[in-house]
Amino acid sequence: MDGSLVLEDGTAVRGAFFGARRRVFGELVFNTNMTGYTEALTDPSYRGQILMMTYPLIGNYGVDPETMESETIQPTGFVVREACAAPSHPRSSLALSEFLKTYETPAIERADTRALTIKIRSKGTMKAALVPAKEDVDAVAREVRKSPHPDTRNLVGEVSCRRVERYPGSGKRTLVVVDCGVKRNIIREAQRYADVIRVPYDATSDEILAHKPDGVILSNGPGDPAHPEIRATAVKAAKDLVGRTPLLGICLGHQLLALAFGGKTYKLKFGHRGGNQPVKDLRSGRVHITSQNHGFAVDPDSLPSSEFEVTHLNLNDGTVEGMAHRELPIFSVQYHPEARPGPWDNEYIFRDFVAELKGA
């Protein structure tokens, strides 16, 4: 037991390192998926966080790099109950421990993830550190408390692309994806309907419109949507695009659209992270099981009711999961319609967006 997870409230949990052995800080969050750990580890929305899996056995089918959702591991650290040392799957090319070491990501196993999850559900997410077990945990806890919260950083700027990238698709139309930390599968799903142009999060509305898009997708991503640097860039661009092109917001993009129309966002106690979140479509009455990864939500009372209607609600806590403009082709969802990992129930969101495009 050569490692420790130390929380800001002084809790210290011993474990065994099975990834890189180094000191890291982050916000401890939990994910309830049974599978999909490779996709979760490479989801840019986890930037600045220490990811803990609630399912007790992780790594049993190894790692297939083809399932990565970005170019690197995004969380600062990883915590599991048991890491499988002998994975078995025909598409696996390396063990989870090798994958973590390749990207210098520290991870510990043998931690009591059940007790930690109960603590987070009770008290909310906390800042934490992964350190060698020989360190003084009281001193580490004090250091964790003094450390700035990851949300104070421009995490979107850390994960966004630096230049325009193009992805050939159907050739029938063009979609621009504003990369706030986009998962690869959002681009893949968009390619089924259009050629895709990926632009940095701080692209201006004029720069976006210069590509003559038939529609614009505001992507998922990490951190606080109301961060000053995000308000000055992605939120401003979204506001400037209103009425000039159809808009679809996904996860963080959903929150950015709310802010662009004068709405407000707030931080959830422990967020929604996993592939089993029930969401009700208020228009059809149908309930979908969704894949989610977010720590903030839209305040429904802050939305201009004359312009927006809430279209989806989370059945666990009643939070806003979707909204639509009453007149313009603008709508958004808080969950991930592209899945990876998670159920594929919600691919229709992309189809519905394409149906809103001019000439579709």
- The set of catalytic residues is 251, 336, 338
Place of tokens 């129930």: 345
Question: What token pair was written down for 219?
Answer: 């992507």
Phi, psi of 304 (to 5 degrees): -70, 105
Q: State the Cα–Cα distance between residues 294 and 223, nearest whole angstrom.
A: 9
If we measure between CA atoms, which residue out of 141, 116, 154 comes closest to residue 270?
116
Cα dist from 253 to 4, 12, 179, 302, whole Å: 35, 36, 9, 17
Phi, psi of 194 (to 5 degrees): -160, 165
126-132 and 195-200: which strand pairing? unpaired
Number of H helices, E strands in the chain: 11, 19
Q: State the Cα–Cα distance between residues 85 and 197, nearest whole angstrom.
A: 40
If we measure between CA atoms, which residue out of 94, 33, 44, 28 comes closest to residue 341?
33
Task: Please say whether the beta carbons of 293 and 304 come within 8 A.
Answer: no
If we measure between CA atoms, which residue out of 116, 139, 134, 135 comes closest to residue 50?
116
Residue type, 12: A
Cβ-Cβ contacts under 8 Å for 138 (sequence gap 6 or more): 10
If we measure between CA atoms, which residue out of 291, 269, 266 comes closest to residue 278?
291
